[in-house]
Structures are given as C-alpha cells and as structure tokens.
Amino acid sequence: MKISKKFEPLVAGIAAATIIGILSFLSFETSTGFWLIFSFGSTTLIVLVFHESEFAQPSNIFFGHLLGIVIGVLFNEFFGISFITLGLSVGTTVTLMIYFRAIHPPAAANPLIALFADVSLNYIIFPVLVGSIAIIFLTVLINKFILKRDYPKRWF
C-alpha cells in the first residue's frame, strides 16, 4: 500500500531522522569510525523529497561526494585554508561535477568541510565514501519499500 500524499512529508522526515540517527549511532556509539558529515543532512533531503531528480541518483550522490571531498582534501594538503582556497576549492568542485556529470549540490560543501575541519586523506573513506554508500542503501530501501517509489531511476 502506497503512503498517502498527506503523510509523505511526515514519513520522509522520520526517514531522514532515521538515516542520520543511524549514521550518528555508528559514529558515536561504536568503534567503526566516523560516518557523518554536515552535507549528508541535505543529501537525505534531496533523496527523500526530490527522488526523481538527477541530483538524487546513486551515482551522483557517490561520485559528487567523492569528488568534493577529494578536491577539499587536496586543497587542504597543498594550500591550507584561506579565502582564496575556500573559493577555488568550491569552484573547482562545481566545474568538475559538471564535466563528469556527477552533480550533487550538497557535495559542493565538502571542500569547505575539508578545509575548515583540516581533514586528511583518511576522511575520504570514513566518513565520506562509507557514509555515502550507507545513505544510498538506506534511501533505496526507504523509497522502494516504505514510500513505494520507483527509486533509483538509474544507478550509473
């Protein structure tokens, strides 16, 4: 049975809370590493509200976050934080997302996260790649089985 349009916002909100709650639990209550970054909050919104959008498709989520954090870490490692590197890292991320067709708007914040948090190469795997995969997995389950939506439209 499909969720009524009237209750979809409530279910999407509960689903977003559940996804971020799971990633938070794994981050703070287990020894598996850190699974959460700030941009994941808006990723869950896009996948649960704008699930038909190109931005919400799994490959865009995965490669958009990967691209954004790699650029951020490289800028951090080679240049450090400044008003110039903050702007250039986001500009570079946006440009490469367009060229590679891996546009995921929340991931444009990843270079800022990398520079402000002064993260290293390990951050690419945990939390970004592992967290992105977890979000993709959970949102596929929620969209298909709870919200009864045809998601994803495409994987790659």
- Look at residue 46 and tell me if it is in a domain: yes
Residue 153: inside a domain, yes or no?
no
Are 108 and 97 contacting, i.e. CB atoms less than 8 angstroms apart?
A: yes
Predicted TM-score of the model (pTM): 0.94
- Residue whose pair of structure tokens reads 């995921």 in the numeric block: 104
Q: Which range marks the domain in which residue 129 is found? A: 8-146
Question: How many distinct structural domains can be found in the chain?
Answer: 1
Q: Can you tell me the distance from the alpha carbon of 64 to that of 79, in angstroms, rounded to the nearest whole number?
A: 22
Instruction: Report the pLDDT value the prediction gives residue 102, as an integer from 0 to 100.
Output: 98
The whole-number pLDDT of residue 34 equals 84
pLDDT given at position 123? 93
Residue 1 belongs to some domain of the structure = no
Would you call the peptide bond into 127 cis, given omega within 30 degrees of 0 as the criterion?
A: yes
Mean pLDDT by 10 residues, the chain (156 residues): 89 97 94 90 97 97 98 98 98 98 98 96 94 97 95 93
What's the confidence (pLDDT) of residue 79?
98
Structural tokens at position 127:
């939390």
CA dihedral 69, 24, 81, 84 (to 10 degrees): 60
* Three-class DSSP category at 27: helix
Inside any domain, residue 156: no
114 lies in some domain: yes
Residue 151 within any structural domain of the chain = no
First and final CA of the chain: distance in angstroms?
29
